[in-house]
Structure formats: structure tokens, C-alpha cells
Chains A and B, each alone.
Chain A
Amino acid sequence: MSLREVSMLPWVEKYRPKSLDEIVNQEEVVSSLKNILQTKAVPHMLFAGPPGVGKTATAHAFARDLFGPSYIDDGYFLEINASDERGIQTIREKVKMFARQIPMGEYSFKILFLDESDQLTDDAQHAFRRVMEQFSATCRFILAANYSNRIIEPIQSRCAVFRFKPLNKAHVIQYLKRIANNEGLEADDQAYEVIYDFSEGDMRKAINILQACASISKRIEEKTVYEVMGYVSRGEVRKILELALSGKFTDARDEVRRLLYVQGIMPSDLISAIYRELFYIDLDEGDKLELLDLLGEVDYRISEGATPEVQLMAFLARLAAKRRRA
């Protein structure tokens, strides 16, 4: 890749940490992993934590620090995303195939990284558990998950569990400033604050917002960020809530469906956006409290596996039954 092309990469890729030293805000995890690197006694590992805090980047950085820069091409590292391949078939074929081959070269084992492993079905997890034992001589597994409670006990007990912390504001902003500096952007403090608020500590999202802002202006202000986010998501959520409140339930429903099924918005993002808007809509405080309570329930049910669309409809129907503040 030419230098010029590197400079034009999506920033989430361009500024992805390349080694453990570049991982932000996960000091405990990083220092444990460095110990492991020294002893080269690599256990199976489970990386648990919210999205965008560096789980995938850490797995890659760890493998690179361990096996060297061509860790993928040398056949030491395979990444599988369980959300795309969640069935037992993946475990039986792809995972086994990779895990059982003895690596050629100076290392006696390789690493299979199973991202979003909480998306595996229970059946696939049980199959996976056996694979972990059978092939541990030739393959170590790193699993990443948002919700470790969705990983079955027997797998958890075979892994060293690393908890990734949510990124705090200072860290996210510091990282963004580094990027801005490198890209020749000017951004004011207010803008960084707002980007952080929208990102909810998800570095990937924060960097995306920054790059989207940069596509319209090299001088980024608070309103630039609102401009971007307004188009990317926020306006649509307000519209949905307004439709429900004006008694146009089916229109609100159709809009939710369009966002979920056509736009592919993640239910959790949609709920977060509703959560943010809920404080500002035209309702009695008591009604808002009731709706917040319900939204919390909806959020939990979805994390438990319920259908997002249906749960959101129940929420909107309840909202539609409320009266605007007189």
C-alpha cells in the first residue's frame, strides 16, 4: 500500500493500535498480557467488555507482539466473527480445521480469535467447549464478548477472563486530539465533549464521528458534530417519538422497522438514542419515569434474546397512550 493510500484509510483502521503499548485505558489487561508474552504460556482467554473499548484491537496487538508483524500471513492467527457465523457448523468445520493443524515454524501453537462469541448459539458453544480441550496443544482461543453472561459456564471456566473497562472521557478525547493533530484538523473543546457524549465511550464510534465531521469541515465545532449526528441518526429517533405521541402509532412502527431492517441500525443504538431523547419530550415527569422504567425492561429483554422490534413496539404503544403535558 502506498503512503498516500495509507493516509486515506478509514480512520478506525488507520489509527487502530498496532501493539499492546498503544492500547488505551486498559492498564490491568495490558500488563497481564505482557506477563503472558514474557512467559509465552498463553492460556485460553475471554475478553469481556462494552463495544469499542479495544477488545479486537488487543487480540490483534497481542498476536502481533507474540508472533511478529506477519502473524496472519504466517498462519498463526485466524479471526472469525461469530455474529456472521453463529451456528454449530462453523465450529465443526472452520474452527476445527484451523485448530487441529500444527503450525509450521518456531511456535508450537496458534491463536484463533472468535469475535462476538456471545452471538454463538448454545449448541455451538457446547461444541466449542470440546474443541477447546481437544486442540489446546495446537491452538489457543481468544474469545471476545460484550456480555460474558451469554457465554456458557464451562467455556468461561476454561478461560482466563479479562474485563475491559469502558473508556473514560479523558482517554477518548486524548485519542481524538492525537488524530486531529495528525490530520491537520482544528476542533474546539466543546466539539470533543459532544463527540464523546454521542460515542458513549465507544472509540470506534468517536473516531467515525470525527472523520465524518472532517468530511464537511477542517474546523470542527460543536454544531458540526450535531450536523453530522443529526443526519446519521438523531433526527429519526425524535421523529419516531413524535409520531407515537401524536397518535400515529403505525407510522412510528413503520419507521422503527425501516431503521432496523433497511438501515440495519443496531437495536441497542436505537434504544440509546430513545433514552437520550426521552428526557426532553413533552410529557409529565411521572409519565417519563414510567417510560424510562419500561425502556429499561425493553433493553434487558432484548439483551436476553427477545425480538427488538416487538419490544420497541410495546414501548411506543405505551408512549402513544400518554398525553402531552398540558
Chain B
Amino acid sequence: MTELWVEKYRPKRVADVVGNKESVEAFVKWMKSWELGRPPEKRAVLLYGPAGVGKTSLVLAYGREHGYDVIEVNASDWRDEARMKAVVGESSLQATLDGSTRKIIVVDEVDGVAGREDAGGIAALSRIIGETRVPLALIANNPWDPKLAPIREKCLMLEFRRLRKAEVVKRLREIAEMEGVKVPDAVLEKLAEMSEGDLRSAINDFQAITGGRKIVDEKALEALGARNRVKEIFDALRMVFNAKSIRAARAALEGLEVDLDMIYTWILDNTPDQIPDPSDLADAFEALARADVMLARVNRKQEWRLMRYAIPVMTGGVALARRHKPSGFVKFTFPPRIRLLQSTSAERELRRSIAQKIAAKLHLSTSKALSQMLPYISFIMANDGGMGDAMARYFEFTASEVAYLRGGEVEKVEKAGARRRVSRRARKS
């Protein structure tokens, strides 16, 4: 089996880490003060920035170079406070006195400790930061997530930016030499460009197009296309929204290697920004809705023939509806729909687990339990302690499920008539 280059060429020493020199130096300095027996004021670092720019690699390289055991915890695995304490808390208190085995704890994807379900997890982590006797490195893509507020101020914040094209090219060139692969500069430059500063994806792409050969030319690039998705979508969107004819609008999707649902979502979510006039917007959405009906028929009845109507209706319909253009260029954005689904995944998972328990007891589907029982059960549990406890036992809810349901998005009505707001949203902000 061929080893993955991203693993094989992961930096072995700090000096090998590509780019972001300032943050790398700050990290080294922070580690030095631990080593000098003076734990720094901030006992955790938060390394943040986009994917593939060396955050985890830096910690691993440092550990390897200076003889640390690096204990990695993937945040998306935790579920609750207890787990957090067990995994991170325990290790963080066991510093060996003789310094024979030194440890760094890395908590990856801290922003994946999402929502309410893991709220206890973040709180526990916050306490652990205060008490830890070993260096704690937290890693996140988006450190500004409100739920990370309690730990942000306790961390040394180190930003990692996208790597410069030249930095990516240089590293790819080094790998090519070590692998004995002959490749023109133009190919490496193109790879670097497509990676948008994500070295990991550039290395992966490079390995993919090389495919074990020792000579790679520009033709090999044609095999790629997966990751420049976003760019292609932007081009397609530009064509769709500016098309003067249905034919041109339809042509925008030709040769696009993105599935139709995805491009549909991009069009759907960019439509409001691109079409400022309300009545144009209503027409555009009607076209999108009609296309959706056709796509549903395609799916349900497997009538692929109908696909040929859906595409011109969704693209041409939007283009024709755009009778008034925004003043100036409005840039296309990543669909909020996808972002919403990502950012709420933990809460949705918790609700789903609650709903499954309800469904099992009450002869319902999970989706009905979710929509028709959960709101009432949550209301009852928030308002009536006794009945709430009985419900919790009956459905066998866990502590975090109970906490979620009790703080549900309902107002607690005091018997006296006075009200206290216990809205979930209010608390979150």
C-alpha cells in the first residue's frame, strides 16, 4: 500500500513547518516557558485557521522533536462533560515530576464541540485549562463561534493563515524531489493555486495526479477537478444570473462536475442577494419551486426524462426573473443552508436522540416524535418538576437531554403569573 504523502511528509521538526512563522515562533516560546518550569499565564493555546495550514502538524512536530507524548483527542468524539473530564482532565493533572515522559494534549476540532449537547464539555474544558499541569493545545477552524467564548480568553490565540502560493509550490517541489518525480513548475503552480493555501489538499492532489508515475505533465491535471469545485460553481453562478436567454442559462451547468442538488442549493441561496427587487425575487423563487417539483418527480418516479425541464426552468427562470440588477457587483456566497446544517448538527443530533426515545415508547416515527411530542414534553418538563422527573424516568433521558428539555425554548410561567425568560436563544447569545 502506498503511504499517504500527507502523512509521510508531515513535518518532523518545527523548522519544517511551512509558513505562519510568527505563530510558530509564539508557540515555541510558549512551550519553552513550560519547559523552564514556569507554566505560562495562559495554559492553553488555541491554534486557529483554515484547514491544511499546519496547525496540528506544528504541535506534532514540536512533540516529536522535543520528546513529548502527544495525546490527541478529537473533539467531535466527545459527547459530554464526563467524557471530557475523563479523557482530558485526567491526563492534564498527571504531570510526571522527573520529566521522563512529557506530555502535550491536543484537542482537535474544538469548534466541533457544538451546541448544547456538549455545552458541559466546553465548561469542563474551561475548568481544565485553569488547572492543567501539562500544555494544552486546542485547534479550531472558527474560533469566533460564540460557544467558544468562555475558553477564548483563557487561551493564547495563535492565528494560522492560508499559505502563500510560493510556499505551497516550494513544499511540493521538495516532495517531488524526494519521490523522484519529474514535474514541470507549471503543474505545481496550478496545484498550489487550486489549493487556495491548503497545503494538505495540494499534497493530496499532487499524489493523486502522480498516480505512482515518475513523470507528470500538465495533462495529468485534467484528472482533477474535485477540489476546484467552488471556483467552478462561482463561474456557473455568474453565467446563470447574467444569462440573457434560457439557452445560455442552461449552458451554465454544462460540464459542471457538481451534483445537481448542490448547484441547486447554491442558486437557491444566492438568489436573494442577486435579485434585489421583491417582485423579481418572487418570480425567481416560483421558478425554483417549480423546478423542485420536477426534480421530486424525477426522484420519486425515476422519470429521468423530466430532468431536461428542471434544469432550464431553474436556471432560465432565475435569469429571466432578474429584471433589475443590484447596483454594483454582489459577490456570490457559500450557501447559508449548508452552514446552518453544519453549525446546528450537535443540537439536531441531541434532539434526534431524544425523539428516538420518545418514538420507541409512543408508537411514533422519530420525525413525528420530534415535531409533535418533543415541544410539549419540553414545555411540561420546564414547568412542572414532578411531572418532568417522571417523564425523564419514563423515557430514560440522559442528564444532558433532561437539561436541554428543561431549558427548552419555552417561557417558564410562574404560578403567580410573573414570567421568567428561559429561552435557549437568549442564553446562547
Q: Which residues of A contact B (CB under 8 A)?
A: 5, 8-10, 12-13, 51, 56, 60, 79, 81-84, 115-116, 119, 121-122, 204-205, 208-209, 211-212, 214-217, 227-228, 231-233, 247, 249-250, 253-254, 257-258, 261-266, 269, 298, 301, 304-307, 309-311, 313-314, 317-318, 320-321
Contact = CB atoms under 8 A, between A and B. Distances in A.
B289 A83 contact: no
Interface in B281-330: 281-282, 284-286, 288-289, 292-293, 296-297, 299-302
Interface in B324-378: 336-337, 340-341, 344, 347-348, 351, 355, 359, 361-368, 370-377
B301 A122 contact: yes
B383 interface: yes
Interface string B388-404: 10110110000000000
A318 B363 contact: no
Given A208-B372, A233-B375, A253-B272, A115 B363 contact: yes
Contacts of A318: 282, 285-286
5 contacts: A8-B394, A51-B368, A266-B372, A313-B268, A317-B282
Contacts of B348: 261-262, 264
Report the interface size class on chain B. 35 or more
Given A253-B272, A304-B293, A307-B292, A320 B410 contact: no
Contact of A56 (B363, B371, B386): B363
Contacts of B355: 264
Contacts of A79: 363
Nearest to A83: B365
Contact of A83 (B337, B362, B367): B367
A9 B344 CA distance: 31
A231 B365 contact: no
Contacts of B391: 8, 10
Given A215-B383, A264-B370, A306 B296 contact: yes
B255 interface: no
B186 interface: no
Nearest to A7: B390
Contact of B278 (A83, A304, A320): A320
B390 A5 contact: yes
Contact of A261 (B268, B344, B394, B411): B344
Contacts of B364: 56, 81
B367 A264 contact: yes
Nearest to B293: A306
A301 B289 contact: yes
A231 B410 contact: yes
Nearest to B369: A264
Nearest to A318: B282
B224 interface: no
Interface of B: 268, 272-273, 278-279, 281-282, 284-286, 288-289, 292-293, 296-297, 299-302, 336-337, 340-341, 344, 347-348, 351, 355, 359, 361-368, 370-377, 379-380, 383-384, 386-388, 390-391, 393-394, 409-411, 413, 415
Contact of A216 (B351, B390, B413): B413
A64 to B, nearest CB: 13
A204 B375 CA distance: 13
A10 B377 contact: yes
A217 B417 CA distance: 10
Nearest to A312: B289
Nearest to A202: B372
Contacts of B281: 249, 317, 320-321
Contact of A215 (B284, B300, B379, B409): B379
A10 B393 CA distance: 11
B428 to A, nearest CB: 12
Contacts of A254: 336, 340
Nearest to A247: B278
Given A81-B365, A216-B383, 13 more contacts: A5-B390, A5-B393, A8-B391, A51-B368, A81-B364, A209-B376, A264-B348, A266-B371, A301-B296, A310-B292, A317-B284, A317-B285, A320-B281
A219 B282 CA distance: 47
Contacts of A253: 272
B323 to A, nearest CB: 13
Contacts of A309: 337
A81 B359 contact: yes
B372 A204 contact: yes
A208 B363 contact: no
A306 B300 CA distance: 10
Given A10-B377, A320-B281, A311 B367 contact: no
A82 B282 CA distance: 36
B270 to A, nearest CB: 11
A148 B359 CA distance: 23
Contacts of B366: 81, 83-84
A266 B4 CA distance: 45
Contacts of A121: 300
B408 to A, nearest CB: 9
B285 A313 contact: yes
A166 to B, nearest CB: 17
A217 B380 CA distance: 11
- Kindly name the residue among B279, B379, B386 whose own CB sees the greatest number of chain A CB atoms within 10 A: B379
Contacts of A228: 379
A10 B344 contact: no
A217 B279 CA distance: 47
Contacts of A216: 383-384, 413, 415
Contacts of B368: 51, 83, 116, 266
A314 B286 contact: yes
Contacts of A317: 278, 281-282, 284-286
Nearest to A253: B272
